[in-house]
């Protein structure tokens, strides 16, 4: 973690010197890391004497600082040596030029990859740079194929079939079945299903299909093989099932084959069947009412129960699915992910369905280049059919990226953890203005962000308690704050919207929360012309990839008694954050009983101190121990100081 954070900080300061050689020292700059318990403010007078100044705090949590000095006044080696001798400093180094790079291994060598804008959009061809699913950076994590436990990942493409002889596609083979012997060798109820299944005529003879081949290529064309194109996954197995039909029973038959193969895999601990994690459906019924198709709709719940997510393409019409209906994308199964079509300019394709409640997200589906049957082998296509396999492929890629703990939990609870994969995909979308308010997420697929959510690289630990209690006297103005801590590797932007309440106001509706920092949302309450009462208001927070959270502000309005509000407002808490001890000071105009209480994030009392205090300046302190005298862990805590009938609330950070 430390090295990642330090590298990220270095990138912030290289722009003025990009032309210099990699590894070259940046003149007039050194970096230091203070030891635990040391604070830069205590060190500044000594730095001033040495002709050094703090230019930037690189990491508050790790106590890393960028110092600047006049190059002509110092011998850099001697300066670094002098800094290394200081007891408060843990590490010292010069600041260096770092070359920006993208991993060459993440760009496949497939000759037509430059035509696959949905994976990497550099803005050429009339597109918008970055209007893609961020595949190249995702492939730094994994290119797909196997889980960490050794499961061979399979995505089932239910379509018209596929061109099985395509050299750029990696199709699933049922190794327990002998092809073309008219015997059900593996006793799964399907004869000769070596290549997959043909639900049209209940045989193992999978027909060729241009549409199905194109979809299969987006899911998993073999990457980095010097041939043609690549898929979302470079090595995943694609199971072709011919089941895209005007007959609903054929569709149910196709999904039933998926269910049987995955159920057998679960029951035999991987000895037979197939580790199918996703299905892809690029067909449906325009204006269909889900109430008329209960068996089809129930298939998604059945598949979800054994760990399979299902990607469904919405209508190729600009219709509101919420109002007009659609099959399958109006089904309400939690294990169904519904997809619309976006362009290389990050806009919804004009002839693509939408729905604030029914359509989850967008994905590239316009002029998508992928595999075709011989003799052309490759070609372009447009439609929600082209968008959906990006999502089905993303499911497969996330399973390849998941760590051991996640996969073990998934095998134990496949339905629950499949929904987590869906959650990471939906929460990881890039927001698009064109999808805002007409899709569930308002965004387009981003598999890099989804993988980082899965791996915990994007996080905001120590969310504040759901309710913030503010006690204020009549005819007063009081401020408080809600504090957030970002423990992940990515910067976050928090957006706030408050319920209409004349007594409550927010300092800002936006809060920037860089990686490894904390920040506070300031709010104020005004009790002018208010009677003693208890009032409530809500603050809605949108944390982007981390979803939404609601906070309740509880205001208790009291009659003026005892200590005046001005005196309480001058209570000081320092240092905050703290390592060894935090101090509280306040002025009392008369003798009062004081009570200090510290609680953790779950609301459990960890420390309490009571004392009878006289008039004048009073001091309290907490050394970070609990009621048993043991040191508490680092993190966010809440304090409450009660002075007679008055309360002071706040938050503090131990690090």
Each residue's pLDDT tens digit, 134-171: 999 999 999 999 999 999 999 999 999 999 999 999 99
Task: State the pTM of this model.
Answer: 0.66
Three-class secondary structure of residue 321 per DSSP: helix
Is 183 domain-assigned?
no
How many residues are listed for the chain in this entry? 655
CATH of the domain at 25: 3.30.70.80
pLDDT digits (tens, 9 = 90+) for 590-625: 778 888 888 887 677 889 988 888 877 778 889 999
Q: Are residues 472 and 504 in the same domain?
A: yes
Percent over 70 (pLDDT), the chain: 91
How many domains is the chain partitioned into structurally?
A: 4
pLDDT digits (tens, 9 = 90+) for 492-535: 888 999 888 889 988 888 988 887 777 888 888 888 888 888 88
Q: Are residues 530 and 566 in the same domain?
A: no
Q: Are residues 274 and 329 in the same domain?
A: yes
Of 528, 545, 560, which residue sits at a domain end?
560
Phi, psi torsion values for 539, nearest 5 degrees: -120, 120
pLDDT digits (tens, 9 = 90+) for 320-376: 999 999 999 999 999 999 999 999 999 999 999 999 999 999 999 999 999 999 999
Residue 194 and residue 159: Cα distance in Å, rounded?
17
Mean pLDDT of 215-227: 96
Query: CB of 438 within 8 A of CB of 179?
Result: no
Q: Are residues 482 and 568 in the same domain?
A: no
Q: Which residues of 329-339 are buried (b: 16+ CB within 10 A; e: fewer)?
A: bbbebebbbbb
Tokens matching residue 476: 């007063």
Residue range of the domain that includes 68: 2-96
pLDDT at 422: 96
Is 189 domain-assigned?
no
Residue 526 and residue 372: Cα distance in Å, rounded?
67
Q: Are residues 334 and 433 in the same domain?
A: yes
Residue 447 and residue 450: Cα distance in Å, rounded?
5
Is 202 domain-assigned?
no
Of 560, 577, 604, which residue sits at a domain end?
560
Q: Are residues 534 and 494 in the same domain?
A: yes
Query: CB of 639 within 8 A of CB of 651?
Result: yes
Q: Are residues 362 and 279 in the same domain?
A: yes
- Min mean pLDDT across 52-61, 144-153, 284-293 is at 52-61
Edge to edge, the sheet with strand 275-281 lists 197-198, 237-242, 153-159, 275-281, 309-313, 336-342, 361-364, 443-444, 430-431
What is the DSSP code (8-state) at residue 203? B
DSSP string, 114-134: GG-TTT---SGGG--TT-S--
Residues β-bridged to residue 553:
468, 537
Percent over 90 (pLDDT), the chain: 52
Is 157 domain-assigned?
yes
Is 190 domain-assigned?
no
Query: CB of 649 within 8 A of CB of 480?
Result: yes
Q: Are residues 234 and 372 in the same domain?
A: yes
* H runs (alpha helix) in 12-75: 40-49
Q: Which of 318, 319, 317, 320 is nearest to 357 (CA)?
A: 320
Has residue 99 got a pLDDT over 50? no
Edge to edge, the sheet with strand 616-622 lists 572-574, 582-588, 616-622
Q: Are residues 568 and 548 in the same domain?
A: no
Mean pLDDT of 411-420: 94
Mean pLDDT of 428-446: 94
Give the number of C-alpha atoms closer than 13 A to the C-alpha of residue 485, restricted to the C-beta side: 20
Higher per-residue confidence, 362 vs 462:
362
Q: Which of 639, 641, 627, 634 is nearest to 578 (CA)?
A: 634
548: Cβ contacts below 8 Å, ≥ 6 apart: 540, 541, 542
Cis check: omega of the bond before 328, within 30 degrees of 0: yes
Of 454, 486, 515, which residue sits at a domain end?
454
Has residue 121 got a pLDDT over 80? yes
Q: Band of the pLDDT at 95, cuts 50, 70, 90?
A: confident
Has residue 12 got a pLDDT over 50? no
pLDDT at 464: 58
pLDDT at 478: 78
Q: Are residues 593 and 568 in the same domain?
A: yes
Residue 108 and residue 86: Cα distance in Å, rounded?
49
pLDDT at 570: 53
Tokens matching residue 326: 């659609």
Residue 335 and residue 47: Cα distance in Å, rounded?
59
Mean pLDDT across the chain: 86
Q: Are residues 408 and 267 in the same domain?
A: yes
39: Cβ contacts below 8 Å, ≥ 6 apart: 575
Q: Are residues 307 and 411 in the same domain?
A: yes
Q: Which of 231, 268, 248 is nearest to 157 (CA)?
A: 231
Has residue 32 got a pLDDT over 60? yes
CATH of the domain at 435: 3.40.50.200
CB atoms inside a 10 Å sphere around CB 606: 18
Query: CB of 582 within 8 A of CB of 632?
Result: no
Has residue 261 got a pLDDT over 80? yes
Is 193 domain-assigned?
no
Is 184 domain-assigned?
no
Residue 379 and residue 457: Cα distance in Å, rounded?
37
Query: CB of 274 within 8 A of CB of 172?
Result: yes
Tokens matching residue 192: 């000769």
First vs last Cα of the chain: how many Å apart? Answer: 16
Is 196 domain-assigned?
no
Q: Which of 92, 74, 119 is nearest to 35 (CA)?
A: 92
């Amino acid at each position: 973690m430390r090295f990642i954070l330090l590298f990220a900080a270095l990138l912030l300061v290289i722009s003025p010197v990009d032309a210099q050689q990699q590894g070259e020292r940046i003149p007039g700059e050194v970096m230091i890391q203070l030891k635990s318990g040391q604070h830069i403010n205590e060190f500044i007078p000594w730095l001033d004497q040495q002709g050094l100044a703090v230019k930037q705090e690189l990491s508050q949590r790790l106590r890393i600082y960028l110092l600047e000095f006049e190059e002509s006044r110092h011998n850099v080696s001697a300066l670094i040596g002098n800094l290394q001798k200081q007891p408060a400093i843990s590490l010292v180094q010069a600041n260096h030029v770092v070359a920006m790079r993208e991993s060459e291994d993440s760009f496949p060598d497939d000759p037509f990859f430059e035509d696959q804008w949905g994976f990497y959009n550099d803005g050429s061809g009339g597109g918008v740079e970055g209007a893609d699913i961020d595949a190249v950076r995702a492939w730094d994590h994994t290119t797909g194929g196997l889980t960490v436990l050794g499961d061979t990942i399979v995505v089932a493409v239910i379509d018209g079939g596929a061109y099985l002889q395509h050299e750029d596609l990696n199709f699933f083979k049922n190794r327990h079945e002998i092809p073309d012997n008219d015997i059900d060798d593996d006793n799964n109820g399907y004869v000769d299903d070596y290549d997959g299944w043909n639900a049209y005529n209940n045989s193992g003879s999978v027909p060729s299909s241009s549409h199905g081949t194109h979809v299969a290529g987006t899911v998993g064309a073999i990457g980095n093989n010097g041939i043609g194109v690549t898929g979302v996954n470079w090595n995943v197995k694609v199971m072709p099932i011919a089941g895209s039909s005007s007959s609903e029973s054929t569709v149910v038959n196709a999904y039933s084959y998926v269910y049987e193969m995955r159920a057998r895999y679960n029951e035999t601990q991987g000895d037979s069947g197939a580790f199918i994690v996703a299905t892809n459906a690029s067909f449906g019924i325009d204006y269909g009412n889900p109430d008329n198709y209960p068996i089809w709709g129930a298939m998604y719940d059945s598949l979800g129960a054994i760990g399979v997510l299902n990607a469904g393409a919405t209508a190729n019409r600009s219709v509101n699915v919420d109002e007009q209906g659609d099959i399958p994308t109006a089904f309400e199964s939690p294990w169904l992910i519904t997809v619309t079509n976006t362009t290389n300019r990050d806009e919804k394709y004009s002839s693509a369905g939408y729905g604030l409640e029914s359509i989850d997200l967008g994905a590239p589906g316009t002029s998508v280049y992928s595999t075709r049957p011989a003799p052309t082998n490759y070609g372009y296509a447009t439609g929600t059919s082209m968008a959906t396999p990006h999502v089905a492929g993303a499911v497969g890629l996330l399973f390849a990226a998941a760590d051991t703990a996640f996969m073990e939990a998934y095998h134990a609870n496949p339905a629950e953890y499949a929904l987590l994969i869906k959650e990471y995909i939906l929460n990881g979308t890039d927001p698009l203005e064109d999808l805002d308010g007409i899709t569930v997420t308002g965004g387009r697929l981003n598999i890099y962000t989804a993988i980082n959510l899965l791996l915990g690289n994007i996080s905001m630990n120590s969310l504040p308690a759901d309710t913030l209690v503010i006690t204020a006297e009549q005819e007063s103005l009081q401020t408080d704050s809600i504090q957030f801590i970002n423990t992940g590797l990515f910067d976050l932007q928090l957006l706030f919207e408050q319920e209409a309440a004349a007594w409550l106001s927010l300092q800002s509706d936006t809060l920037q929360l860089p990686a490894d920092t904390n920040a506070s949302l300031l709010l104020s309450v005004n009790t002018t012309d208010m009677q003693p009462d208890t009032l409530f208001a809500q603050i809605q927070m949108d944390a982007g990839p981390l979803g939404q959270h609601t906070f309740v502000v509880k205001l208790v309005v009291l009659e003026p008694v005892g200590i005046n509000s001005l005196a309480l407002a001058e209570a000081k808490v320092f240092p905050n954050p703290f390592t060894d001890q935090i101090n509280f000071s306040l002025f009392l105009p008369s003798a009062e009983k004081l009570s200090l209480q510290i609680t953790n994030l779950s609301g459990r009392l960890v420390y309490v101190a009571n004392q009878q205090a006289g008039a004048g300046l009073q001091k309290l302190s907490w050394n970070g121990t609990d009621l048993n005298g043991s040191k508490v862990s680092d993190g966010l805590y809440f304090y409450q100081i009660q002075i007679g009938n008055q309360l002071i609330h706040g938050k503090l950070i131990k690090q």
